[in-house]
Amino acid sequence: MEFLLELLPKAFALSLATLFVFLFLRLVFSWWISPIQTYYKLKRNGFRGPPPSFPLGNHKEMIKKKKNAEVFSKLEYSNILTHDIHPIVFPYFSSWQKSHGKVFMYWLGTEPFLCVADPEFLKKMSAAVLAKRWGKPSVFKSDRDPMFGSGLVMVEGNDWVRHRHVITPAFSPLNLKAMASLMVESTNRMLEKWVTQINSGNQEIDVEREITTTAGEIIAKTSFGMNYENGREVYEKLRALQMTLFKTNRYVGVPFGKYLNLKKNLEAKKLGKEIDKLLLSIITTRKKSISKGKPQQDLLGLLLQDNKVEGRQGKTLSTQELVDECKTFFFGGHETTALAITWTLMLLAKHEDWQNQLREEIKEVVGDKELGDMNMLAGLKKMGWVMNEVLRLYPPAPNVHRQARENIKVDDLTIPNGTNLWIDVVAMHHDQTFWGKDVNEFRPERFKDDAHGGCEHKMGYLPFGFGGRMCIGRNLTFLEYKVVLTLLLSRFSFTISPNYCHSPSILLSLRPTYGLPLIVQPL
């Protein structure tokens, strides 16, 4: 017995040492050996790209190129107002594309990515995979978990089919029609505020900030019925969460990268939990009001009603899934739409002729009629071309993601299972090969007789993504864009303020870094 007791500490030390060696070998394998193996596999398949160094991948070069581009664009571009934005917003992709072609590999930490800016490659790749068999990059899922949870943007497989099946009817034109009056109400409130400011002698308005706030209010009302009084807290926390997650350089894909920004990550987690709690209480209250027979016609109300339909077991959403969808609608829907309107105002302020043409069209089609009739709004044809052209030059969602969940054959190449795909929408929308010499000019008429704007490849224009996973909120955006722009152009004219600094950048979406100050004059 004594002999055994003497041996025990030695045995314990030995097992501890074995455990350390095992953990060390595992780290070496997953940080260096496994990524290097994948690197050579991709290379054998013919994919080239900038050389990575593990475990950081290409992060260092990306950060350096981004910093240089920021300095350069501030010095060279800020007053020129160029629309040739790919080298400004994705300087690393722009330079790698020149050296390695339109499909190349790069690394975020130990995660392999293929950057795709070739529409033909994309067409073949997407034809080979059903929507439900695509994955979403695991690194983004964990990084953006507090924002999207298991909402539609991130969910995969049969769960994605179930979510999409339940949510699609809520976005039907008939259901959306009821939301137009909410949009008019919020926009008019913003415009009254502008009138007060202008009357006090200040005609310069940061249109980006104003429209983002109003779009946030609209999406919160149309998604989960939040009104100004009860929802301010949810709205502010949702915005704070987005800023916390995206305002720092994040080492996505780098092992333990989270701990390099520990404070921010913990803050984001805490905000995420607080938002979940608030939304949960909204949903619980709403469930009670539905059982008392008082359903509301917002997206949450429609999903809750659908959940109660008999015989839909297995095709409903759990309460946590509803919380995640509310967050997804907010993050997926408000900034993208706000930025589409913001960039439109920048371009209309620069092109007074188009501003006048749209005003004429509004007079003819809308006149004194009430906004919200979808058929009437569909008659705003020129406004539709302008929207398409804005989404081409300044796509608010500048890229689309996928992750291969199987080996994918494209001609004689194989994209290995687990590879992440970054579809570079900005590059494709500014590719002279497909759009012609005037690619960087604002020419809405290119969409007059062609939904693809004359692009020589159908997959070269992707503002809302592609395949079965294409944006579910398109119709809501069309409605909001036309309602808000009609109200704005009917009451004001816009010119660029001398204080505007043209510096588009990416903070999840494509936005004007220093806002959009415009000189606003009542008509």
- What is the C-alpha R_g of the chain? 25
Q: In whole angstroms, what is the distance from residue 514 CA to residue 263 CA?
A: 26
336 binds ligand HEM (CB under 6 A): yes
Please, which residue, 304 or 397, has the CB nearer to ligand HEM? 397
Q: In whole angstroms, what is the distance from residue 278 CA to residue 283 CA?
A: 9
Q: For residue 348, what are the CA distances in angstroms to 59, 224, 479? A: 37, 33, 19
Computed from CA positions of residues 361, 365, 367, 371, in that sequence, does the dihedral angle turn out positive or negative?
negative
Q: Are 220 and 331 in contact (CB under 8 A)?
A: no
Burial of 315 (0-12, 13-18, 19+ CB in 10 A): middle
Stretch that binds ligand HEM, among 83-91, 99-107, 186-194, 324-332 (CB under 6 A): 324-332
104 binds ligand HEM (CB under 6 A): no
463 binds ligand HEM (CB under 6 A): yes
> Binding to ligand HEM (CB under 6 A): which residues in 202-231?
219
477 binds ligand HEM (CB under 6 A): yes
**In the complex, least distance from residue 264 CB atom to ligand HEM, rounded to whole angstroms:** 25
Q: In whole angstroms, what is the distance from residue 445 CA to residue 388 CA?
A: 10
Closest CA to 117 of 143, 139, 92, 154: 92
Helix (H, G, I), strand (E, B) or coil at 421: strand
SS3 content of the chain, % helix, strand, coil (to 5): 60, 10, 30
Helix (H, G, I), strand (E, B) or coil at 519: strand
235 binds ligand HEM (CB under 6 A): no
Name beta bridge partners: 413: 410
> Binding to ligand HEM (CB under 6 A): which residues in 425-444?
none
Binding mask 160-199 for ligand HEM (x = CB under 6 A): ----x-----------------------------------
119 binds ligand HEM (CB under 6 A): no
**In the complex, least distance from residue 150 CB atom to ligand HEM, rounded to whole angstroms:** 12
Q: In whole angstroms, what is the distance from residue 519 CA to residue 516 CA?
A: 10
472 binds ligand HEM (CB under 6 A): yes
Closest CA to 83 of 374, 347, 307: 347
**Cα–Cα–Cα angle for 232, 270, 263, rounded to 5 degrees:** 120
327 binds ligand HEM (CB under 6 A): no
504 binds ligand HEM (CB under 6 A): no
Stretch that binds ligand HEM, among 200-208, 286-294, 329-337, 427-435 (CB under 6 A): 329-337
Please, which residue, 42 or 397, has the CB nearer to ligand HEM? 397
Single residue of 108, 322, 476, 489 touching ligand HEM by CB under 6 A: 476
328 binds ligand HEM (CB under 6 A): yes
Stretch that binds ligand HEM, among 96-104, 277-285, 316-324, 466-474 (CB under 6 A): 466-474
> Binding to ligand HEM (CB under 6 A): which residues in 387-406?
396-397, 400
14 binds ligand HEM (CB under 6 A): no
Single residue of 147, 153, 241, 520 touching ligand HEM by CB under 6 A: 153
Q: Note every long-range contact of 256-264, with CB atoms under 8 Å and residues 24 or more positions apart, other chains counting.
A: 257/109
User: In terms of DSSP bridges, do strands 420-424 and 509-512 run parallel, antiparallel, or are they unpaired?
Assistant: unpaired
Helix (H, G, I), strand (E, B) or coil at 231: helix
384 binds ligand HEM (CB under 6 A): no
Stretch that binds ligand HEM, among 52-60, 88-96, 237-245, 471-479 (CB under 6 A): 471-479
Please, which residue, 328 or 414, has the CB nearer to ligand HEM? 328
152 binds ligand HEM (CB under 6 A): yes
Number of DSSP helices (H) and strands (E) in the chain, helices first: 22, 11
What DSSP string describes 386-403? Answer: HHHHHHHHS-SS-EEEEE
422 binds ligand HEM (CB under 6 A): no
Please, which residue, 172 or 249, has the CB nearer to ligand HEM? 172
The response to whether 455 counts as a known ligand-binding position is no
Going by the annotation, the residues of the binding site are 471
Q: Which spans of this chain sit near ligand HEM (rule: CB under 6 A)?
A: 152-153, 164, 219, 328-329, 332-333, 336-337, 340, 396-397, 400, 463-466, 469-473, 476-477
Going by the annotation, the residues of the binding site for heme are 471
